[in-house]
């Protein structure tokens, strides 16, 4: 299964991804996590993306696309993967489709997780207290929401047109949300078989 997780910052993509990859036995590819690791390691690459992501902005498309392309070429991705937070722009989505088309492949499901803005703020501010994430303060969160609306939300129509988009209500307990996602993915898997 090739699955994409779409949704605004803090909607719970990372949380649900951890459970999904265990069930479906596929690698979890979180571009946010990969970028944060590079920043933590203070590599040349990390310093470059840290500057780009300042204030809640996105890392540059060409950098993220190259990083994901290299990761997807690894052997553990041959039978599928869960892309968490990628693509985040139309050019990123187009480049992913191009890469897949070379091998006559397609994305199986795009999960569009949704919760209202008030709940997103509540979750991200709560996460800020638990984890040391520099992008979880109120001003940066506001910017990240705007970046999502401007740059990422057009992907909803893009994948709707491809017939692979599934809207999932992200309100409820982590297990309730997981069950909703699983209902959708089991159906996708049945149709694929
Ligand atoms: P990401 O790492 O993708 O993170 P996120 O969108 O902020 O969070 P996520 O939706 O995964 O929420 P989580 O499960 O943690 O991106 C970070 C940054 O990296 C971006 O802003 C961007 O700068 C850069 N970046 C990443 N990908 C990029 C790309 N493709 N191109 C360019 N730049 C890119 O959940 C949030 C909180 O809610 C947690 O504390 C969790 O415990 C809680 N929670 C989860 N589910 C809940 C539930 N059901 N009920 C209550 N709380 C819940």
Full DSSP string of 92-141 = HHHHHHHHHHHTT----EEEEEE--HHHHHHHHHHHHHHS--TT-SHHHH
**Pocket residues for ligand 1 (CB within 6 Å)?**
7, 9-15, 30-33, 35, 53, 56, 58-59, 64, 85-86, 88, 92, 123, 126-127, 135, 144, 173-174, 177
Query: In the predicted model, is pLDDT for residue 193 greater than 90?
Result: no
Give the residue, out of 29, 32, 69, 153, with the most ligand 1 atoms within 8 A of its beta carbon, to mutate for a pocket test. 32
**Arithmetic mean of pLDDT, 168-187:** 98
| Average confidence score pLDDT of the chain | 95
Confidence at 134, pLDDT banded by 50, 70, 90: confident
Fold of 2-180: Rossmann fold (3.40.50)
* Residue spans per domain, the chain: 2-180
The pair phi, psi for residue 110, each rounded to 5°, is -115, 120
pLDDT at 53 over 90: yes
Looking at residues 181-189, what average pLDDT do you find?
98
144 is catalytic: yes
Find the catalytic residue in 19, 48, 57, 127: 127
Q: Is 89 helix (H, G, I), strand (E, B) or coil?
A: coil
Q: What is the mean pLDDT of residues 71-97?
A: 97
Confidence (pLDDT) at 11? 96
Task: Enter the tokens of residue 55.
Answer: 């204030």
Say if residue 147's pLDDT is above 90.
Answer: yes
133 has catalytic annotation: yes
pLDDT value at 87 more than 90: yes
* Predicted pLDDT of residue 135: 83
């Amino acid at each position: 299964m090739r699955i994409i997780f779409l949704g605004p910052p803090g909607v719970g993509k990372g949380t649900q991804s951890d459970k999904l990859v265990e069930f479906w036995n596929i690698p979890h590819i979180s571009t946010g996590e990969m970028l944060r690791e590079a920043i933590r390691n203070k590599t040349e690459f990390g310093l470059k993306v840290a500057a780009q992501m300042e204030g809640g902005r996105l890392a540059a498309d060409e950098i993220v696309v190259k990083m994901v392309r290299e990761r997807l070429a690894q052997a553990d991705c041959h039978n599928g993967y869960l892309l968490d937070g990628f693509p985040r722009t139309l050019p990123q989505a187009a480049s992913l489709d191009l890469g897949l088309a070379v091998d006559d492949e397609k994305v199986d499901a795009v999960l569009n997780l949704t919760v209202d803005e008030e709940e997103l703020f509540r979750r991200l501010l709560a996460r800020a207290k638990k984890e040391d994430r520099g992008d979880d303060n109120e001003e940066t969160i506001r910017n990240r929401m705007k970046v999502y609306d401007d740059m990422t939300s057009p992907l909803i129509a893009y994948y709707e047109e491809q017939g692979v988009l599934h809207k999932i209500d992200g309100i409820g307990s982590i297990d309730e949300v997981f069950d909703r996602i699983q209902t959708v993915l089991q159906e996708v898997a049945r149709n694929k078989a």
